[in-house]
Amino acid sequence: MAIPSDSEGGPNPKPVGVKDKDDGEAAPEDTTIGLGREGGGEGEEDEDEDEDEIGEDEEEEDGDEEAEENVTPSSERKNLDRLLRRLSGGPVRLRVHDVIIRGNTKTKEALIESEVLDAFRTASSMQELLQAAGLANARLRQLDIFDSVNITLDSGPSELPGTANVVIDIVEAKNPLTGDCGVYSKPEARSWSLEGSLKLKNLFGYGDIWDASGAYGFDQTSEISTGVSLPRFKAISTPLMARVSLLSHDWLKFSSYKERLLGLSFGLISTRNHDLTYNLTWRNLSDPSRVSSKSIRRQLGHSLLSSVKYTFRVDHRDSHLRPTRGFAFLSTSQVGGLGPDSRILRFIRQEFDLRGAFPLGFYHAAVNLGVAAGAILPWGGGFMNSTTPLSERFYMGGHSSPVCNLGGPTSLLGFKLRGLGPSDLRRVIPPKRGEDEATVSSERDASGSITSPGRDVTGDNEFKNLSVKRFLEMFRSSAGFGIIFPTRFFRMEINYCYILKQFQHDHGKTGIQFSFSTP
């Protein structure tokens, strides 16, 4: 695929196969720069000052072309020094004449061209061409279907001075099938899960990745899903994704219900800062224990979720794991109820998350601050008398790290998983025969035969009675300090938490807590 070259004369590098050692983004370690003497033509009698400095070297090299091919290490150093002087002196005009792709036995050439041509088409100087090579190399590696990518900048045709050819050498993955498996612990829920996944890469040559994953939680969650993703397809320039999943959540301990979901999701738009997905999910809530509260029983049974979810993300932190400077912002908007069916869940859900890191100036220390907020409301006819779906509400608590992860208002150290928020009294069933099931409005034990019913965490559904005063009164707070131990395999946090404010039915505890997460 040829890119129109610049008609103006200029330097015409010739290759000697020297790797660029610059650590900057513009010249990655696998980008080779062609070096050599500069070609001249008619109309180039007036040389630049930097060309005059190396004029004597050019006269010595004009003798024999064959000698140039057998370049010695000393001449390589001279050529490299000469090029560095030219680059430091100002822009060196250079245009791309052609992009040559080698090594793609299965991958479609159109896919590679679509990833790199935009970067090279706008380059008009050697400096810009180096930056474009680094960007193109990063894009090809992000496809995750190549073992290696090497980009060489070669000289263009001799009749077109001031041009260069870009040679892209790729090595496709020898083993397209990969997988992993592991056992993960969740201390806050006192549970373990066995998780595994398989990936089949580039099956049809379009950069397609087929994957299947499964997770089995010994007392809480199980999941089986399969999907496919494409970086782009023909005229569609944005990545595409489709996924089918079957999930089961056990919330009997916290909210007296089990949840099973069969869903289909489509990724419609996916860019660096924007994501748009559509979800169609059939959901079933059940209560095998038959002790759920009134708030839970109202929503038991089948329902349909048809929603569109938009995510805007900006992350300018120097690290996602241990940031020392920069900021990150996440906004997630979800609209459910797209369809005429009466069983469709209709709601609007909005989340915001802002994180910032400020360096202290010693030992790479930094202060990390963050704020997260969310709201969910029903919509449609008679929405003031409607409730929001249980599964989409906000449930606070847990020991997951609130410092680096972007995910909305979910974590509050010092409180158990689903350990705070609105709750409702569970139903109590007398054990004696002949007695009807009764709903007890008091949490006191009955005379020897009825145990304490406990409460179901129902999430926040207080939008009808919400006011500024009530909002401030409902605040919970905790304080503490902790130590983070990062390793190659996992990240461990040890935190001491002190509960500053909690309500009667919250499950908060002052003391030492542990948190494990991926590195």
pLDDT of 11 higher than 50: no
Q: Chain-centre distance of CA 364, in angstroms?
A: 25
Per-residue pLDDT band for 350 (boundaries 50, 70, 90) equals: very high
Mean pLDDT of 196-205: 92
Asked whether the beta carbons of 220 and 201 are under 8 A apart, the reply is no
pLDDT in tens, 412-437: 777 877 777 777 888 776 655 544 44
pLDDT for 17 equals 38
Nearest to residue 259, comparing CAs of 474, 35, 459, 46?
Answer: 459
Separation of alpha carbons 214 and 247, rounded Å: 10
In sign, the C-alpha dihedral spanning 180, 181, 185, 191 is positive
Residue 406 CB neighbour total at 10 angstroms? 19
Ranges 250-254, 353-357, 405-409, 485-489, most confident: 353-357
pLDDT category of residue 462 using cuts at 50, 70 and 90: low
Taking residue 417's Cβ as centre, other Cβ atoms within 10 Å add up to 23
Is the pLDDT score of 53 beyond 50? no
Question: How high does pLDDT run on average in the chain?
Answer: 76
C-alpha distances in Å from residue 343, one per residue of 281, 321, 346, 448 = 12, 42, 9, 42
More confident residue, 46 or 123: 123
Express each pLDDT in 56-84 by its tens digit. 444 444 444 444 445 567 777 877 777 77
| 6 confidence band (pLDDT: 50, 70, 90) | very low
pLDDT in tens, 386-408: 788 888 888 877 766 666 667 76
Nearest Cα to 55, choosing from 45, 70, 65, 66? 45
Query: What pLDDT is recorded for position 213?
Result: 93
Mean pLDDT of 444-449: 37
pLDDT surpassing 90 at residue 190: no
Whether the predicted pLDDT of 228 surpasses 90? yes
pLDDT of residue 242: 94
How distant is the alpha carbon of residue 406 from its chain centre? 10
Q: Is the pLDDT of residue 116 over 60?
A: yes
Averaged pLDDT for residues 2-11: 41
* 43 pLDDT more than 50: no
Q: How many CB atoms lie within 10 A of CB 423?
A: 22
Mean pLDDT calculated for residue range 312-325 = 87
